[in-house]
A and B are shown apart, each in its own frame.
Chain A
Amino acid sequence: MFNSYTESLAVFFGINVLMAFSVYLPSSAGLISLGQGGFMAIGAYTSALLTAKDVPFALALAAGAAVAALIGVLVAAPAVRIRGIYLIIATLGFGEIVRILFINLEFAGGASGLSGIRPLTTLWYVVGVCFFVGLCLWRLRTLTLGRAILAVHEDETAAEAMGIKLLQTKLIAFGGGAAIAGLAGGLFAHYALFIDPEQFGFSRSAEAFLFVVLGGSGNPLGPVIGAAVVTLLPEVLRFLQDWRMSFFAVLLIGCAIWRPGGLVAARPPSRL
C-alpha cells in the first residue's frame, strides 16, 4: 500500500512522535529534559539484545521501556530537586554518559554498534503504539494524577499544600517520559536493524526537545504537530536542494517570533 520510501518516512515520523511525547510528559510537570536520546538508547539496546535471544517482540519492547523508566527514576530522584536550567544540564550530561557507556559495553557491540537486529517493527506496530501513548496522554488530565502533574508545574507550593507529593509526582512524570523514549528506541532498533551509540547522542535529544518547543506543550497534539513539521518538512523542501536546511532554520526562527507558545497553543478539553 505504501512504497518503501513513504513507509520508512511514516515509521520514523511515528518514532519521532513518541520521542516528542517523551519530552512532553515530563514537561507537563515542569521538568525539561535534554537527555531523552539516552533513554531511547537504553530501550533500543535492551529490546534488541532480548529479541536476539528470541524473546517475543512485544515483551522485549515492554522490557526496554521498563528498564528506561527504572533508570529514569534513579536519575531523576536526585535531579528533580534541582530546577530549570540546572535540570536541563543534568539531563544533557546523562545523555552523554549513556552514549559513552554503550561505546564501552563490549557485549552491546561497543562503538561499532549492534547489527543483525531482526526486522520486527512494522508500520502498524508503530501506529498502534503511537495511538496508545497519545490516548493515554490525552486522557491523563481527566485523572487525579494528571491534574496533580499540572498543579506541580504551575505552583509547587500550592500543590504541596493540597497534599500532593512533589517528588513522587515528578518521578512519575519523568519515569513515564523515559519509558516512552524507551519504547521509541525499541521500535527504532527493530526497523533500522543496526544501532550504534552515536544515533542516540545529543542531536537526537535536542531534536525531541525541538518537537515540543515547536509544536507547543499545552496538549499532546502540539508534540505531534512539531514532530510532523520537523520530520516531513525537510522532505517536502527537497526541491530547494542545498538551501533546504537553511530555509528550515528560517522557518523555526519565524515560529519562535510569531508563535512563541508553539504551533498548537490550546489545551485539551477536560471532561470529568
Chain B
Amino acid sequence: MAFLTISDLSVTFGNVRALDKVSFSIERNEIVTIVGANGAGKSTLMRAVMGLAPVLGGTIEFDGRSIRRTSTHAIARKGIALVPEGRGPLRQLTVRENLRLGAFARRWNADARRDFDEALDRFPALKPRLTQMAGTLSGGEQQMLVIARAMMARPKLLLLDEPSLGLAPLIVARVFETIASLRAMDVSVVIVEQNAHAALGMADRAYVIENGRIVLEGTDLLGDPRVQEAFLGGIVS
C-alpha cells in the first residue's frame, strides 16, 4: 500500500466532470509530477486530496486510512500541506506571521523554533524581510514564503500547485532547486505543473493528465515522444 493512494476518483462541478476515475499513488519520500494542460484537472486532483472538491466517487487513502470524508483542517493536521495555485501568502500579514501560521496546528516549542530557523536558512531571502507585509515581496519571494510556510507544518506530504506560475525563468529555476532540496526532509512531494520540462526533470515518477483522465504514467516521461510532442514543443532535450 502506497503512502497516498487514490483510486477511481471522480469529481464533478455541476455537469462538468473534472476528474474521471483517476487513480494515482505516491510513496514515502517520493517526488511525483503531474503534468497536463490548463483545465485538465490537475488542481482539482490536489483540491480533492485536501477535501476541497466535491468528490462523487472513488477512494482517497493516506497512510492507510481513508480521508475522503475528512474535513480540510483535519487533513492538514494529519500531515498533508497544500500550496494553492497562484494565491501567494497572506498578503496583509508579515513574513514572520505567515511562517508562524504555517505551524498553526503545532505547539510553538523548541522543535518548531528550530524549524523556523531552518526555514530561514533554506530561504535566506526571507530573513531580512521578516517584519515586512508578505504582499510587498516579489513574486519569487512570495512563492518561497508559501513553500516555507507549508513546510512549517512539518508535512509528510506536500502538494504544490503550479509553483512556477507567473515567475521569471531564472526564479523558476530557483524555486525548483528549492523543491529538490526538500528531498532531505522526509517528505513526499506532488508537483502539478504546466512547466513540464523543469517539473519532469526533478521527479521520480510522473503522470500525464488530460481531460480529467490519467493518460500516461512512468518514470522517464521526459524522454517519452508523446510527452515531448504535447508539452515540450517537440524539442528533444
A residues sitting closer than 8 Å to B (CB atoms) are 141, 144, 147-148, 150-151, 154-155, 157-166, 267, 270, 272
Question: Quick check: is B58 within 8 A (CB to CB) of the other chain?
Answer: no
Contacts of B172 in A (CB 8 A): none
Q: What string of 1s and 0s marks CB contacts (under 8 Å) between B72-101 and chain A?
A: 110011000110100100111110110011
Asked if A165 and B96 sit within 8 Å, CB to CB, the answer is: no
Question: Quick check: is B102 within 8 A (CB to CB) of the other chain?
Answer: yes
Asked if A163 and B104 sit within 8 Å, CB to CB, the answer is: yes
Closest 8 CB pairs between A and B?
Answer: A163-B105, A163-B76, A160-B72, A161-B82, A154-B90, A163-B77, A162-B104, A165-B73
Asked if A147 and B91 sit within 8 Å, CB to CB, the answer is: no
Asked if A147 and B93 sit within 8 Å, CB to CB, the answer is: yes
Query: Which of A148, A166, A272 has a CB less than 8 Å from the CB of B104?
Result: A148
Asked if A157 and B131 sit within 8 Å, CB to CB, the answer is: no
Contacts of B93 in A (CB 8 A): 147, 150-151, 154
Distance from B146 Cβ to chain A, minimum over Cβ atoms (Å) = 9
CB closest residue in chain A, given B159: A161
Asked if A151 and B84 sit within 8 Å, CB to CB, the answer is: no
Asked if B90 and A144 sit within 8 Å, CB to CB, the answer is: no
Q: What string of 1s and 0s marks CB contacts (under 8 Å) between B117-160 and chain A?
A: 00000000000000101000000000000000100010000000
Interchain pairs with CB closer than 8 A, number: 71
Asked if B90 and A161 sit within 8 Å, CB to CB, the answer is: no
**Size bin of chain B's contact surface:** 20 to 34
Contacts of B192 in A (CB 8 A): none
Measured between alpha carbons, how far is A185 from B169 in the docked complex, in Å?
A: 59
Known contacts A151-B90, A165-B73, A272-B100, then 16 further A-B pairs from the complex at CB < 8 Å, ordered by chain A residue: A144-B101, A147-B104, A148-B101, A150-B92, A154-B90, A154-B93, A157-B52, A161-B76, A161-B81, A162-B76, A162-B101, A162-B104, A162-B153, A164-B104, A267-B92, A272-B96
Asked if A161 and B72 sit within 8 Å, CB to CB, the answer is: yes
CB closest residue in chain A, given B146: A158
Query: Which of A158, A166, A267 has a CB less than 8 Å from the CB of B87?
Result: A158
Measured between alpha carbons, how far is A163 from B73 in the docked complex, in Å?
A: 4
Can you identify 6 A-B contacts, CB atoms within 8 angstroms? A147-B93, A160-B72, A161-B81, A163-B105, A267-B133, A272-B96
Contacts of B72 in A (CB 8 A): 160-161
Interface of A is mostly: helix
Question: Quick check: is B13 within 8 A (CB to CB) of the other chain?
Answer: no
Contacts of B100 in A (CB 8 A): 144, 147, 272
Contacts of A148 in B (CB 8 A): 101, 104
Measured between alpha carbons, how far is A244 from B94 in the docked complex, in Å?
A: 42
Measured between alpha carbons, how far is A148 from B76 in the docked complex, in Å?
A: 14
Measured between alpha carbons, how far is A249 from B131 in the docked complex, in Å?
A: 38
A154 with B105, Cβ < 8 A, contacts A161-B76, A163-B73, A272-B100 known: no
A160 with B90, Cβ < 8 A, contacts A144-B100, A144-B104, A147-B100 known: no
A158 with B84, Cβ < 8 A, contacts A144-B104, A148-B104, A163-B153 known: yes
Distance from A141 Cβ to chain B, minimum over Cβ atoms (Å) = 8
Distance from B194 Cβ to chain A, minimum over Cβ atoms (Å) = 21
Measured between alpha carbons, how far is A249 from B12 in the docked complex, in Å?
A: 51
Contacts of A159 in B (CB 8 A): 101
Question: Quick check: is B203 within 8 A (CB to CB) of the other chain?
Answer: no
Measured between alpha carbons, how far is A6 from B149 in the docked complex, in Å?
A: 51
Contacts of A164 in B (CB 8 A): 73, 101, 104
CB closest residue in chain A, given B47: A157
Contacts of A151 in B (CB 8 A): 90, 93, 101
Contacts of A157 in B (CB 8 A): 52, 84, 87
